[in-house]
Structure 1
Amino acid sequence: MQKGTTVTKRTRNRTVPLFLSAAVLVGGSALTAAPASADDGVSQSAANYSDAANPGGAIAPVPPMGFNNWARAQCTPQAPLDGSPQINYSFQQYMEDNAKGLSDAGLIAAGYKNVTVDDCWMYRNSSGYLHGALNWGGATDVRNTSTQPGFDSELTNYGSYLHGLGAKFGIYETSGTHTCSTAAPTSPNLPNGSEGYEQNDANSFVAWGVDELKYDNCGDQEPVQTLDTRMSNDLSTAVTNANNAGTATPNVMFNISAPAGLANGSAKFAAMDWVRPLGQLWRVGPDIYNDQDNGATDPWNQALGVQSSYNFGAYQSFDNTLELARYTSPGNWNDADMLLIGDNGMTTPEERSQMSLFSALGAPLVISTDARKFEPSYISSLATTDPAMATHLQNSVAILGDSEVIAVDQDSLGAGAYRVSGGATNADGTPAASSGIDVVVKPLADGSRAVVVLNKGSATAHYTLDLNALGFSASGGSYTVRDLWAHSTSTSTGTVALSIGSHDSAMLKITPPSGATFTPRGQITVSRNDWSKESLCLDNYRSGTGTNNPVDVYNCTGNSNQQWQMNTDGSVQLLQTGTSNLCLTPQSGTSTGTVNGQTGQWVGIAACGSAPGYQTWTYNRDGNLKLAGTGNCLDVYNGTTTTPGTPVDLYNCGAAPNAIQTNQTWAAPFSAPPAA
């Protein structure tokens, strides 16, 4: 996080009917929506605290849902909505009013239970204990009456208020000596970060009734792995001690930020491994757009290094997290950061698309908006003064509360998503958020697939979705097609015609006929070594069909020479139009030249079954495509993963988990969360 200054917020809200801009053009009758399984993920027994990597003992068996104030307000004091004097309006009251807005809009009941106050709520006294700061945004116990109030010194009553609404109490801290807002303590108070005070803080959190800790990594003096491990252990100790003392105490869900600040590389992939036994969710990339720093820019499309040094737009947050979907499983969630649905300046179609995409990811669904405006009475008050905003907010609440879309996010299989096609690149190499179509698939526990078709262009797109191209194979019968936004059901024998508005998405649940099989297929992309750039696709060079035609990495085009099928026998089959039975194959024997300075093997295509021992690959959570029975991995030559046209070879795998190489990690289609 970065402390920001107030800027004028861009206004892009348009009056758009909620469910008209993405339509499935096949008939069917509506069905009653199945209720979502909105597990809050914090009610496990204390004995299960350290079992985050074990689905049977997972603290968060499904992605957590809730609210956080950061992206909308950061540490900036806010005004009451009723016109009363702002100087008397406290940070604590603002958070309570947001919780009430969620409750009155039905969103806590829908599953958004974890209400988390972010930075600037605290100070640390001279004895080393945390308390609520008395001024909004100030790390102090000295009340300054010229500023707005902060929090009560003890947060017990605040936590009780949240629990009384049926919500959970989430709180922020950092693993270092000071939080990311860099608010300076007043003497003799101490820096407000947790480093060196972990057990004190864990004890305070448990005593106040905290259910979730969001743990940043600003101000670290020791290795972040050491600090996060210490807090994880100390939270467990505090919970155990409270239960042993006779106070029934749930575990504190632990949201770790450690991987977020690391670009792809050995350190990032190592962090993605060591966080798993410590917490239940972890941030995986830069902060999403925030209203205070980025209010004059586009919350949907914000490229790193272009509009901001450390803020993604909603699309870029999705795009970055999609590449890491292999790490998602029950109790282990990639945090793509916050939902900007509400009053952050996205259009209704963009809000619907963010909800579609984040649900497909299996991401935690954490709202960051002014949820006070979700109060039905507030929306009604806008009917005459600002009817467009009233309609927009009504749509926002409906999007957030859609039980069928939530159910995709909360699916018990716990799989992430992968891209079948799309992922286009701008001329500067950044992800194209305003052109092209992305098709994204998420496997579901009942054998069906959730499919998101996103229109990133500026005009309505007419698109035909080929169900066989997703990997289904049926000898007869019809597919059941459920439109999750329109809440309608139809049947199809193989294709679905879609009309999708600009920046909107269709979200479908595809259930195959009895006896159908599914083999995952789509794009295979290499990890980007510059996270401001788009990933490149594994590409059959110039669509050649000869034996040993090379493969390279190239801008993702959506063309069939970038379509691959992950067969059950371990072969990776090319699905290029006009070809059949060609598989990813290293040259057998020695190579025709040196690779990375050593004798190696270039990789190309050959007839499936023609090269025993050279066409069976394993794909697991570390992202390696490893030639079975060897220590060799599919490798982008010379380590450069953002240069289109770079050839692909076979090379010694970097040792997991601490020496995994970016040019050997791939995002590939799957049917279930990849194993370790």
Structure 2
Amino acid sequence: MTKRILHRAAPLLLSAVLATAGPALVAPPAAANDGVSQPAANYSSVASPGGPIAAAPPMGFNNWARSECRPQAPLDGSPQLDYSFQQYMQDNAKGLYDAGLIGAGYRTVTVDDCWMYRNSSGYLHGALNWGARTEVRDATKQPGFDHELTAYGAYLHSLGAKFGIYETSGTHTCSTYTPIAPALANGSEYHEQADANSFVAWGVDALKYDNCGAEEPLQTLDTRMSNAVNTAVTNANNAGTPRPNVMFNISAPAAYNNGATKSAAMNWVRGLGQLWRVAPDIWNDRDNGVTDPWSQPLGVQSSYNFGAYQSFDATVDLSRYQGPGNWNDADMLLIGDNGMTTAEERSQMSLFSALAAPLVISTDARKFSPSYLDSHPAEAGHLRASLDILGNSEVIAVDQDPLGAGGQRVSGGAANADGTPAATSGLDVVVKPLADGSRAVVVLNKGATTANYTLDLKTAGFNPTGAGYTVRDLWAHTTGTSTGTVALTIGAHDSAMLRITPPSGSTTTPRGEITASRNNWSKASLCLDNYQSRTSNTAVDVYPCSGGSNQQWQRNDDGSILLLQAGASNLCLTAQSTVTAGVINGQQGQWVGVAPCGSAPGWQTWTYNRDGNLKLAGTTKCLDVFNGATTTSGTPISLYSCGAAPAAIQANQTWAAPFRTPPTA
């Protein structure tokens, strides 16, 4: 939780240039990473020096999206009133273990809100009740947790799991009542060191840190807790009781829509933690009427909750911030008993792995145990398919790839008529660079019927020369070769996921859409667009993404940005050298359009940085959406003074552009 201040037919590789290969291409083994395996003596609580904590995206489990603070019944029919929150979490951990998911890498088991209360002396203890007032025992309520959580943590460790815990940076968590005196509010604000000491003493390995109840700036609060955890770990080690590093998951960026404050937060969190939430919660609150966890629009149930597709859509534009030890947290996987179809579950796994997102399951994992599956045949078919999805080592390997690059949406991302993301129609194509020179490609069919799609290897960033590329279908586990295209058949709400390995000596060039930063989570990003697809006297604007070639760009090594529009030969993104009246709106500005490449090299060379600025090389001016109207279709693009980093980065100068490797600054 983070608060704000039909089975798919396997993709058919039908292209005439695709032939069955010999031995199957074996993907690298998944380097599933719990993020906390390094001893504190070697690593501080920040990502450097000494190498990154969470060198690959963390994997695990969290109860929130599935059950929130709601008491659950035991599955064996025993009296519910005796069934505690702690036992529920232990049973989920055991379900993960029995199903082989802890062994597959899903190690960090995190209990979310409502596990705690704070006594009159200011110390956290296990909740006395589950899902009600936590500080005074009520015999009519189900129990919460042990007074101290040491034994609970030891149980998780005995399964080979890691102990994750939730708190908030403010005075009170998001889902608890004002306490009854003498108990104190249960948030960590003003109690950071005491809480960090408790966490380390209990054996906590990972801390998820929310924003609720904050009275001070989030940067101040998150810095204080990061320092407190580091101090607690250091003190424990100095006292002869070695403790591992505590992985720190910060929620601050998710408190803000895109803009200067969000951009600043995306920078300062890097020095404090290893992962951070970037957008609203994925929500599967079926008790409150959520009927479509796959594509629940923002605001239907809550102003801060949306579906699995919307979470991907909000996160993909921030892939430039990713890298080993620094991860965008797209929230939880709803794979299991949350109401998505098998196709939708496969698509969420494909998309999140392509994002290099943390893979955190939120489902009733008790049902993954072999004994439950054997005794519940009506549910077993779907749940076994869920386990196959979660356990796919080839897909996990893409998520865990050591390059750490996030996926880029090179085509798709269309908008509905009201400007919201089109979650139920069209295709999205996502490309993720991999450390060995391969590319992972996800093609998502958002429509309600089967779709055919021909993938051009150039779309994935390759430069084919006639030699064969190895194409591995990561869901069908089949291998073929291609010299130019791959034909796919994809079921409704399903996805094809390919790992494409180039022949020796081949090259890559970043290609795809360039999208403007949206200023509202409920709106779709708009694409940098060649105005009216003209081939002369042309301007560029932002326009709903269509997948058209007039919105496809190629970032060349010399800094030029080539338009890939069919019929538009050798045109590059070009800034005017003077202020003129605009082609689109008639207003005065230093407008940007396309012109023959090489015709004005001083006005055609662009740099791209982690903050998302496309800056005219050798100047202090950036590609700018006129008047800040980043979600208004048809708005022209100008050249304007760049907002100063890190505190004054402007949303209308922030772009998601394709890259070969993530920008480092």
Q: Name the TM-score, length of structure 2 as normaliser.
A: 0.96
* Candidates 553, 557, 571, aligned match of 1:568: 557
Aligned equivalent of 1:126: 120
C-alpha separation in 2, matches of 1:396 and 1:475: 40
Larger mean CA deviation between 584-593 and 78-87 belongs to 584-593
Aligned equivalent of 1:477: 467
Q: Does 1:509 align with 2:499?
A: yes
Does the aligned pair in 2 maintain the 1:302–1:308 contact within 8 Å?
no
Q: Does 1:103 align with 2:97?
A: yes
Q: Does 1:155 align with 2:149?
A: yes
Aligned equivalent of 1:438: 428
Q: Cα–Cα, structure 1 residues 670 and 75, in superposed 2: closer, same or farther, change >3 Å?
A: same
State the SS of the aligned residue for 2:459: helix
Does the aligned pair in 2 maintain the 1:53–1:331 contact within 8 Å?
yes
Does the aligned pair in 2 maintain the 1:140–1:189 contact within 8 Å?
no
1:419-444 alpha-carbon deviations (Å, 9 max, x no partner): 11111111111111110011100000
Q: Cα–Cα, structure 1 residues 109 and 445, in superposed 2: closer, same or farther, change >3 Å?
A: same
Does the aligned pair in 1 maintain the 2:539–2:584 contact within 8 Å?
no
Does the aligned pair in 1 maintain the 2:59–2:359 contact within 8 Å?
yes
1:612-660 alpha-carbon deviations (Å, 9 max, x no partner): 2111100010000000110000000000111100000000000011101
Does the aligned pair in 1 maintain the 2:45–2:273 contact within 8 Å?
no
C-alpha separation in 1, matches of 2:220 and 2:584: 38
Aligned equivalent of 1:87: 81
C-alpha separation in 2, matches of 1:51 and 1:211: 11
State the SS of the aligned residue for 1:472: coil
Does the aligned pair in 2 maintain the 1:595–1:649 contact within 8 Å?
no
* Candidates 245, 259, 265, aligned match of 1:265: 259
Q: Which runs of 4+ in 1 moved over 6 A?
A: 593-599
Q: Cα–Cα, structure 1 residues 405 and 646, in superposed 2: closer, same or farther, change >3 Å?
A: same
1:499-556 alpha-carbon deviations (Å, 9 max, x no partner): 100000000011111111100100000000111000000000011111x410000000
Per the TM alignment, residue 305 of structure 1 is displaced from its structure 2 partner at its CA by 2.7
Larger mean CA deviation between 287-296 and 263-272 belongs to 287-296
C-alpha separation in 1, matches of 2:129 and 2:205: 24
C-alpha separation in 1, matches of 2:42 and 2:496: 39
Q: What is the aligned-residue identity percentage?
A: 75
Q: Cα–Cα, structure 1 residues 359 and 616, in superposed 2: closer, same or farther, change >3 Å?
A: same
State the SS of the aligned residue for 1:352: helix
Q: Does 1:451 align with 2:441?
A: yes
Q: Does 1:286 align with 2:280?
A: yes
* Candidates 222, 227, 236, aligned match of 1:233: 227
1:544-583 equivalences in 2 (<5 Å): 544-546=534-536, 548-583=537-572
Does the aligned pair in 2 maintain the 1:21–1:349 contact within 8 Å?
no
C-alpha separation in 2, matches of 1:47 and 1:632: 45
| One-letter amino acid matched to 2:342 | T
Per the TM alignment, residue 294 of structure 1 is displaced from its structure 2 partner at its CA by 5.0
Does the aligned pair in 2 maintain the 1:476–1:513 contact within 8 Å?
no
Per the TM alignment, residue 22 of structure 1 is displaced from its structure 2 partner at its CA by 3.4
Q: Cα–Cα, structure 1 residues 574 and 55, in superposed 2: closer, same or farther, change >3 Å?
A: farther
1:1-50 alpha-carbon deviations (Å, 9 max, x no partner): 489xxxxxxxxxx5x3xx63433335345345542110211122325555
| One-letter amino acid matched to 1:570 | G
| One-letter amino acid matched to 2:335 | I
C-alpha separation in 2, matches of 1:525 and 1:628: 20
| One-letter amino acid matched to 1:637 | F
Q: Does 1:313 align with 2:303?
A: no
| One-letter amino acid matched to 2:483 | T
C-alpha separation in 1, matches of 2:660 and 2:115: 43
Q: Does 1:140 align with 2:173?
A: no
Q: Does 1:420 align with 2:414?
A: no
Does the aligned pair in 1 maintain the 2:57–2:357 contact within 8 Å?
yes
Per the TM alignment, residue 371 of structure 1 is displaced from its structure 2 partner at its CA by 0.3
CA RMSD of aligned residues (A): 1.8
1:161-196 alpha-carbon deviations (Å, 9 max, x no partner): 000000000000000000000323222110000000
* Candidates 585, 607, 620, aligned match of 2:574: 585
* Candidates 616, 635, 645, aligned match of 2:634: 645
State the SS of the aligned residue for 1:359: helix
State the SS of the aligned residue for 1:518: coil
| One-letter amino acid matched to 2:387 | V
Unaligned runs of 5+ in 1: 4-13
Q: Cα–Cα, structure 1 residues 430 and 593, in superposed 2: closer, same or farther, change >3 Å?
A: closer
1:374-396 alpha-carbon deviations (Å, 9 max, x no partner): 1111111112xx1xx21100000
Q: Does 1:254 align with 2:255?
A: no
* Candidates 454, 458, 461, aligned match of 1:464: 454
State the SS of the aligned residue for 2:271: coil
| One-letter amino acid matched to 2:482 | S
Q: Cα–Cα, structure 1 residues 196 and 586, in superposed 2: closer, same or farther, change >3 Å?
A: same
| One-letter amino acid matched to 1:514 | S
1:326-337 equivalences in 2 (<5 Å): 326-337=320-331
Q: Cα–Cα, structure 1 residues 236 and 135, in superposed 2: closer, same or farther, change >3 Å?
A: same
C-alpha separation in 1, matches of 2:120 and 2:460: 60
Q: Does 1:303 align with 2:297?
A: yes
* Candidates 644, 657, 672, aligned match of 2:646: 657
Per the TM alignment, residue 215 of structure 1 is displaced from its structure 2 partner at its CA by 0.3
| One-letter amino acid matched to 1:237 | T
Does the aligned pair in 2 maintain the 1:2–1:181 contact within 8 Å?
no
Does the aligned pair in 1 maintain the 2:134–2:144 contact within 8 Å?
no
Q: Cα–Cα, structure 1 residues 73 and 511, in superposed 2: closer, same or farther, change >3 Å?
A: same
C-alpha separation in 1, matches of 2:401 and 2:78: 44
Does the aligned pair in 2 maintain the 1:137–1:183 contact within 8 Å?
no
Per the TM alignment, residue 83 of structure 1 is displaced from its structure 2 partner at its CA by 0.7
C-alpha separation in 2, matches of 1:364 and 1:295: 27
Per the TM alignment, residue 594 of structure 1 is displaced from its structure 2 partner at its CA by 12
Aligned equivalent of 1:604: 593
Q: Cα–Cα, structure 1 residues 55 and 543, in superposed 2: closer, same or farther, change >3 Å?
A: farther
C-alpha separation in 1, matches of 2:505 and 2:113: 53
State the SS of the aligned residue for 2:234: helix
Aligned equivalent of 1:116: 110
| One-letter amino acid matched to 2:145 | F
C-alpha separation in 2, matches of 1:290 and 1:258: 22
Q: Name the TM-score, length of structure 1 as normaliser.
A: 0.95
Per the TM alignment, residue 599 of structure 1 is displaced from its structure 2 partner at its CA by 6.6
Does the aligned pair in 2 maintain the 1:582–1:606 contact within 8 Å?
yes
State the SS of the aligned residue for 1:274: helix
State the SS of the aligned residue for 1:108: helix
Q: Does 1:70 align with 2:60?
A: no
Q: Cα–Cα, structure 1 residues 589 and 2, in superposed 2: closer, same or farther, change >3 Å?
A: closer
Does the aligned pair in 1 maintain the 2:575–2:591 contact within 8 Å?
yes
